[in-house]
Amino acid sequence: MAISGEEVRHIAQLSRLNLSEGEVETLTGQLGAIIDYVAQLNMLDTSGIEPTSHVLPLKNVMRDDSPAASLPREEALKNAPDCTEKFYRVPQIIE
């Protein structure tokens, strides 16, 4: 399936791209090659293939969430460049 220069210009307009005539000609050939390749892929028999999002059956491996003692406040604030008795102090960024 061939794509025309007019279609490339229309896609460029939708994408808010300003293309020169040379770029339109280059992209016309490149997009045509991509569309031809996808057409080849569409000819493959995939009737026995189950749709998937990944080729390997991967799962997230999560550790069990078990309660534990937390870090004492003094220890957490020990290396802070600026802090109060209870909180980190950071520069104001919103006026």
Predicted pLDDT at 85? 83
What span, in angstroms and rounded, lies between the C-alpha atoms of 13 and 24? 12
Under the banding of pLDDT at 50, 70 and 90, the label for residue 21 is: very high
Under the banding of pLDDT at 50, 70 and 90, the label for residue 51 is: confident
Which domains, and CATH codes, for the chain?
5-42 (1.10.20.60)
* Strand partners for 38: none
Predicted pLDDT at 55? 79
Sequence-ordered alpha helix ranges (H) in the chain: 5-14, 21-42, 73-77
pLDDT at residue 1 above 80? no
Weakest-pLDDT range from 13-17, 26-30, 36-40, 75-79: 75-79
